[in-house]
Amino acid sequence: MNRINRLSPRLANQIAAGEVVERPASVLKELLENSLDAGARRVDIEVEQGGKKLLRVRDDGGGIHKDDLALALSRHATSKIARPEDLAAIASLGFRGEALASIGSVSRLELSSRAAEADSETGWTVRAEGQQMETSLAPCQHGVGATVEVRDLFFNTPARKKFLKTERTEFGRIDEVLKRLALSRFDVQFNLRHNQRTVHELRPALDELDQRRRIGLVCGPAFLENSVEVDQRAAGLRLWGWISLPAFSRSQADLQYFYVNGRIVRDKIVSHAIRQAYQDVLYHGRHPAYVLFLELDAAAVDVNVHPTKHEVRFRDSRLVHDFLFRSLHRELADVKPEARGTDQVLPETSGEASERGVAQTALPLRDAAPVREPGGEYRFAAQTPPANPAGTPEQYAKLFGGGEESPPLGYALAQLHGVYILAQNRDGLIVVDMHAAHERITYERMKQALDGESLRRQNLLVPLSLAVSEAEADCAEAHREGLLALGLELEHVAAESVVVRQVPALLKDGDIERLVRDVLSDLLEFGSSDRLENRRNELLSTMACHGSVRANRRLGIDEMNALLRDMEATERSGQCNHGRPTWVWQSMDELDKLFLRGR
């Protein structure tokens, strides 16, 4: 049997490094977090060979006192917390006091700094050497702030070094880390150079326009054009940022940034709530894109859950789930044609475009609503004047009996190949996918009709008895009323068993056992379940699809106009039930550009 001995500081630090220092990108994350914690307004990052050879971060923050430099490199040394109570409400990004020690144990690290309150004009450099990580201090030239230089990562731990990928891959991850932090702090300037080439120069973004510009630079212009802004508050929580329109979904979940009090997190509660909000509008298997910031009292969230601090624990996770879902669901429901123009402003053309957008939203919707016959056919009840497709929308509107102004989706001109409606509004051309649009309208109507009357329940001829866990049975009991309102009656008959007596009539032919089990596990984990609603909506969606205008049916001009007006008045009408767009818009400016025509 071996005797016990104490690990050398370097070895102990290398073990700690195993958890947080996985690759150059994780080093950069720690260094950037330190700069931001130090109040930096500008950070310069220099990278060589994907960070494998060199990573240098220089900032203009508060710096480190000369006498503290050696301490900064040792484990369990931090200026961010001091007492056990501090752990309950952490306001800084770091607090564990081990990043520099860990990184220093697996690389050649040099820390230089001059503290803001230092009385001399010089700075000091510190490095730690040998198994004992003994520190040596030397004067150097340095402005106020700090520089951390990390060379030859994993030079002394070859096993780890082997896991590093190509220079390109490692740099890609570095870039991603920078983007995450750059989105979390619009007020800070970030510059990044790789192999002497400038990759990012993100100037401070203090007003809304600059913030949008940074979003465009980091997430790409397409995201900016196809997103809407969110800003919601309730119950001491605030959610703000940008979310993609459903039609701009992605095949990967790669454009998803969620921050809790400025810290990027990956969280099950959060992603579930967002998915649920998009549920009804997103094409199957696609992912939404978003940059979202959740702000709440620091004491309401625990960040001391995981060494990399990517996970958090909410004190009231159900409240957070509910707030996220409701806020986003509302925003997405509001995506109707009228919103177009204001929310889709490119940075270069923002001035002109937002003027146009404002003019467009100011347009009143025509209140002379068309009459739709029970069969779902579009027809105007009144004797309508003949259409005059060739005239201006204003002339046409006059003929039509509407106001002077044209509605957002304008007036129909013609039907193209039995599939698309061509319409003109004040600013250009609208093309509508007739079937997709009608399908959404029918679906939303059916949902509303069903929401209106209380859900019909159906008794099961033979009540279904299910063996469940005690926690699930208790949960069924606790949510009894809520489930009943959704049409599901569960009875708690024994410690580990429930009986299903009634189900929503619409779902009676489905796999009820599976449904009930899924609902209970959702309720246990998230405090709410959307399964019943989802199943019901899936069914309605299928019904709506079959009941909608099929392609190649001729619509009269009046019918087409009625459809356009219905779209303007229907929630989520920008996408069909499968998340595809229902209409597109080309402005006169865009058309002019196609024809190289100056106006």
Q: Which residues bind Mg ion (CB under 5 A)?
A: 34, 94, 99
Binding mask 530-569 for ligand ADP (x = CB under 6 A): ----------------------------------------
Q: Is 374 helix (H, G, I), strand (E, B) or coil?
A: coil
Q: Given the structure tokens 């969110």, which residue do they identify?
A: 230
Q: Considering the rule CB under 6 A, would residue 100 count as an interface residue with ligand ADP?
A: yes
What's the min distance (Å) between Cβ of 593 and ligand ADP?
48
Residue 9 or 402 with smaller CB distance to ligand ADP: 9
- Give phi and psi for 259, each to the nearest 5: -115, 135
Q: By CB under 6 A, name the one of 41, 53, 65, 80 that touches ligand ADP.
A: 80
Q: By CB under 6 A, name the one of 34, 184, 442, 502 that touches ligand ADP.
A: 34
Q: Considering the rule CB under 6 A, would residue 181 count as an interface residue with ligand ADP?
A: no
Q: Considering the rule CB under 6 A, would residue 98 count as an interface residue with ligand ADP?
A: yes
Q: By CB under 6 A, name the one of 9, 24, 50, 94 that touches ligand ADP.
A: 94
- Give phi and psi for 117, each to the nearest 5: -95, 5
Q: Is 524 helix (H, G, I), strand (E, B) or coil?
A: helix
Binding mask 37-76 for ligand ADP (x = CB under 6 A): -x--------------------x-xxxx-------x----
Q: How far apart are CA 214 and CA 145, in angstroms?
A: 25
Contact 405, 397 (CB under 8 A): yes
Q: How far apart are CA 250 and CA 459, in angstroms?
A: 42
What's the min distance (Å) between Cβ of 94 and Mg ion?
3
- Containing H/E element for 424? strand 420-425
Residue 310 or 326 with smaller CB distance to ligand ADP: 310
Residue 71 or 539 with smaller CB distance to ligand ADP: 71
Q: By CB under 6 A, name the one of 13, 14, 26, 35 that touches ligand ADP.
A: 35
Residue 36 or 519 with smaller CB distance to ligand ADP: 36
Residue 216 or 262 with smaller CB distance to Mg ion: 262
Q: Which stretch binds ligand ADP (CB under 6 A): 91-99, 173-181, 435-443, 522-530?
A: 91-99
Q: How far apart are CA 467 and CA 465, in angstroms?
A: 7
- Containing H/E element for 324? helix 317-333
- Give phi and psi for 172, each to the nearest 5: -55, -40
Residue 307 or 556 with smaller CB distance to ligand ADP: 307
Residues 6+ apart with CB under 8 A from 451: none
Residue 30 or 472 with smaller CB distance to ligand ADP: 30
Binding residues with ligand ADP: total (CB under 6 A): 22
Q: CB under 5 to 8 A by kind: which of ligand ADP, Mg ion, none does 97 bind?
A: ligand ADP
Q: How far apart are CA 560 and CA 372, in angstroms?
A: 12
Q: Is 45 helix (H, G, I), strand (E, B) or coil?
A: strand
Residue 98 or 472 with smaller CB distance to ligand ADP: 98
What's the min distance (Å) between Cβ of 279 and ligand ADP?
39
Q: How far apart are CA 131 and CA 14, in angstroms?
A: 11
Q: CB under 5 to 8 A by kind: which of Mg ion, ligand ADP, none does 255 bind?
A: none
Residues 6+ apart with CB under 8 A from 226: 244, 245, 247, 248, 344
Residue 38 or 544 with smaller CB distance to ligand ADP: 38
Q: CB under 5 to 8 A by kind: which of ligand ADP, Mg ion, none does 79 bind?
A: ligand ADP
Question: 283, 291, 221, 228: which is closest to 254 by C-alpha?
Answer: 291
Q: How far is CA 269 from CA 298, 315, 531, in A?
A: 18, 12, 16
Question: 275, 198, 208, 281: which is closest to 241 by C-alpha?
Answer: 208
Binding mask 144-163 for ligand ADP (x = CB under 6 A): --x-----------------
The beta-carbon contacts of 262-267 under 8 Å, at least 24 apart in sequence, are 262/93, 262/184, 262/185, 262/293, 263/93, 263/184, 263/303, 263/309, 263/312, 264/180, 264/181, 264/184, 264/310, 265/310, 265/311, 265/312, 266/310, 266/311, 267/311, 267/312
What's the min distance (Å) between Cβ of 33 and Mg ion?
5
Residue 90 or 434 with smaller CB distance to ligand ADP: 90
Binding residues for ligand ADP (CB under 6 A): 30, 34-35, 38, 59, 61-64, 72, 78-80, 94-101, 146
